[in-house]
Amino acid sequence: MKHIVSGIQPTGSLNIGTYLGSIKNFVKLQESYQDHHFFLFIADLHAITIPRDRLELRKTIKEVAALYLACGLKKDNLSLFIQSEVEAHSQMSYLLQCFTYIGELERMTQFKEKAQKQETGVTSGLFTYPTLMAGDILLYDAEYVPVGDDQKQHLELTRDIAIRVNNRFGDFFTVPKPLIPKVGARIMSLTEPTKKMSKSDTFVKSRILLLDDENIIRKRIMSAVTDTDGIIKFDPKNKPGISNLLTIMSAITNTSIEQLVTTYQNTDYKTFKEAVADCVVAELKPIKEKYSTIINSGELDAFLDKGKADANRVARKKIAKFNHKIGLGRKQK
């Protein structure tokens, strides 16, 4: 069976950026790729590339896992697991570092941005993050990897590494292809709409969390930064705030941006923002309800245990073959 792989870092409570750029897309993909098996994981090894409070991290791992399920993923063709519970991810990351050039890692935009933000030392874990991500994908021979816009460069590097290994040792890794959502691949900050909405943005008003109360959601959208010309049109360069709200509404309602512009072009910003707030509130309400049932049940741990076993089965086999392929250890009969 073919595989689709993706992960989310437990670096903070999930917001609508991650939801629209990634989880909502998985739900749709489960429908359109019923013949594929989905390996989705909570990328806790990625999260520690930047110092974290350990208790906060543990709490967020569980919250992200529960939110994955609360957002409507079907369990049939899904293995949901915690990355650090499958040791082959760390092992593969090291092996792939031996097939990756420093220059390639230095070119990664996300590394450059995150390193710039770091006030204390930049860890080598942050630098080699892309090889961990490459391992996450190549371990499962993923055919497709659903990613937001910001992860495209890392996936490109994963492909280069896979091709390099294949050229040297014969076809060994499946070269993965990205699946990028048409709308929602880059949801922007509500306070600085030229920047991506991010879990770790220090400005809490920049985002809407999936678990935010209704009145907070409404307040955040009503106070979202826009412009003063009063025209509702999609123009990310000159009108990033309004374009971002149109994108959010389009991704939630599955209505094209052109259609939304036609519907709202003769209204004012207040009316338009109220409509955006209504649709975000309606989208998140059932997720919050399901979340509170799941987080307080034994269902989550049982499903994560099953996911861990599934993932270990596939990943251990692949790493053993890879060790052998590149000449490590003793020759097995």
**Which residues are identified as catalytic?**
114, 196, 199
**β-pairing, 142-146 with 177-179?**
parallel
Separation between Cα atoms, residue 81 and residue 305, nearest integer Å: 7
Separation between Cα atoms, residue 251 and residue 245, nearest integer Å: 10
Token couple for 325: 């392929």
DSSP-derived letter for residue 8 is E
CA-closest candidate to residue 264, choices 223, 232, 227: 232
Q: Which is nearer to ligand AQP, 21 or 240 (CB)?
A: 21
User: What is the dihedral angle through the alpha carbons of 31, 290, 23, 275, rounded to the nearest 10 degrees?
Assistant: 100
Separation between Cα atoms, residue 44 and residue 46, nearest integer Å: 5
Dump strand ranges (E) for 170-282: 177-179
At closest approach, how far in Å is the CB of 150 from ligand AQP? 5
At closest approach, how far in Å is the CB of 330 from ligand AQP? 37
At closest approach, how far in Å is the CB of 269 from ligand AQP? 22
Dump strand ranges (E) for 107-251: 142-146, 177-179
By beta-carbon distance, which residue lies closest to ligand AQP? 21
CA-closest candidate to residue 214, choices 274, 293, 124: 274
Q: Which is nearer to ligand AQP, 151 or 322 (CB)?
A: 151
At closest approach, how far in Å is the CB of 48 from ligand AQP? 11
Token couple for 285: 């309400």
Which residues, listed in sequence order, are joined to residue 4 by a DSSP beta bridge?
38, 144
At closest approach, how far in Å is the CB of 78 from ligand AQP? 16
Side-by-side strand order, sheet with 142-146: 78-82, 36-42, 2-8, 142-146, 177-179
Q: Which is nearer to ligand AQP, 117 or 313 (CB)?
A: 117
Dump strand ranges (E) for the chain: 2-8, 36-42, 78-82, 142-146, 177-179
Q: Which is nearer to ligand AQP, 142 or 165 (CB)?
A: 142
Separation between Cα atoms, residue 220 and residue 205, nearest integer Å: 6
Hunting for tokens 């990625």 — which residue is that? 46
| Alpha-carbon torsion (191, 194, 197, 199), positive or negative | negative
At closest approach, how far in Å is the CB of 17 from ligand AQP? 3
Residue 131: in which H helix or E strand, if any?
helix 124-138
Separation between Cα atoms, residue 39 and residue 33, nearest integer Å: 13
Residues that bind ligand AQP (CB under 6 A): 8-9, 11, 17-18, 21-22, 43, 147-148, 150-151, 184-187, 196-200
At closest approach, how far in Å is the CB of 242 from ligand AQP? 17
